[in-house]
Structure 1
Amino acid sequence: MANNYPVGFYFELSFKGEDAAFKEVSGISKELSMEEVVCGGENRFKYRLPTITTSQNLVLKRALIPEGSKLIDWCASTLDEGLANAITTHDVSVSLFNPDGSISVMWTFYNAYPVKYSVSDLKSQENELVIESIELAYTYFVITPDTSIADLFA
């Protein structure tokens, strides 16, 4: 039986119906926070009780795009306006593809909004691409395995 394990370099990000290419996506994680409770009279151990699920920010990295994009416009409006206006949230999806181009796994991040934008250091001694990083906070994410493009728009 052939194993079709997905490769980590064949992915795309979808935002407001547009696809964007990134060289790196990180921060896809969930963790159940624990609270330690000491029970009276029991000195050998502490009870560890689950509390809430926490997650890291989603970090997106790509080569700097000189012309504007809707994603960068969204970042600029959110970060530059501060709290003068309500923060606009969007659902963002990261799709990991199989070698045949079908979606292997899709992560959908709900109520995402930009919290940080940065550009890599500019160094005259090195010949490297300038990388822009976008960090998104989100409420929660859902994992959808074995999704076809037709299923996404059905």
Structure 2
Amino acid sequence: MAAHAGPLEGSNFIVDFAGTDDASFSHVELPVAHIDEIAYRPGNDRSNEPHKQPGLASYSHLVLSRGLSANLDLWTWWEGARDGDPAVDRTVVVKLLDATDQLVLTWQFRNAFPAVYRLSPLDAASSDIVIETVELAFDSMDVEVP
């Protein structure tokens, strides 16, 4: 498949966790990737300006949101993490599709687990949909072009 030219739209995506595609998520916040800077100065260097090299990589959370339904899979997953279930880690894949539903990019998050679970406020004066959000911590992130 040839690479897409130009900017990509972010409105057509699928989230795959536990081996099943879930198109019900309405919002995905991809994490910020950060590499620590390690500043050092060799003992024989007369300069007061440090040399820098890359250190450990770290990531903010992957945030998934959707309208609340009677499906409790995200709550159950968070509950398993809370209770120390060793099988809670999963590989989560976010797939970006083009307007013809062809795969454009994938982000893969290894050993992901739910670190935060929250619901939007309930408000008797509003008819807004209740939003369920889970923030995932993970070990590593890879980006692939098919």
- Using the size of structure 1 for normalisation, the TM-score is 0.80
SS in 1 for 2:136: strand
Contact 2:74 2:134 in 1 (8 A): no
**1:43 Cα shift?**
5.2
Q: Take 1:36 and 1:5, find their aligned partners in 2: how far apart are those partners?
A: 35
**1:4 Cα shift?**
6.0
Match of 2:67 in 1: 63
Match of 2:93 in 1: 93
Q: Take 1:42 and 1:126, find their aligned partners in 2: how far apart are those partners?
A: 66
Letter in 2 for 1:23: S
Relative to structure 1, the CA distance from residue 3 to residue 142 in structure 2 (aligned partners, 3 Å threshold; closer, same or farther) is: closer
Summarize deviations over 1:76-123 as a string: whole Å, max 9, x none: 2222x1x3x435211111000011111100111111111110011222
Q: Take 1:26 and 1:94, find their aligned partners in 2: how far apart are those partners?
A: 10
Aligned length: 141
Match of 1:151 in 2: none
Letter in 2 for 1:55: Y
Identity score, percent: 23
Summarize deviations over 1:23-43 as a string: whole Å, max 9, x none: 111133322111222455645
Matches within 5 A, 1:12-23: 12-20=14-22, 21-23=24-26
Letter in 2 for 1:74: W
Q: Take 1:123 and 1:77, find their aligned partners in 2: how far apart are those partners?
A: 29
Contact 2:80 2:88 in 1 (8 A): no
Which sections of structure 1, spanning at least 5 residues, go unmatched? 148-154
Match of 1:140 in 2: 140
Contact 1:35 1:51 in 2 (8 A): yes
- Using the size of structure 2 for normalisation, the TM-score is 0.83
Q: Take 1:51 and 1:57, find their aligned partners in 2: how far apart are those partners?
A: 19
Superposition RMSD in Å: 2.1
2:36 maps to 1:33: yes
Query: Among residues 3, 7, 10, which one is paired with 1:8 in the alignment?
Result: 10
Match of 2:81 in 1: 78
Q: Take 2:29 and 2:137, find their aligned partners in 1: how far apart are those partners?
A: 12
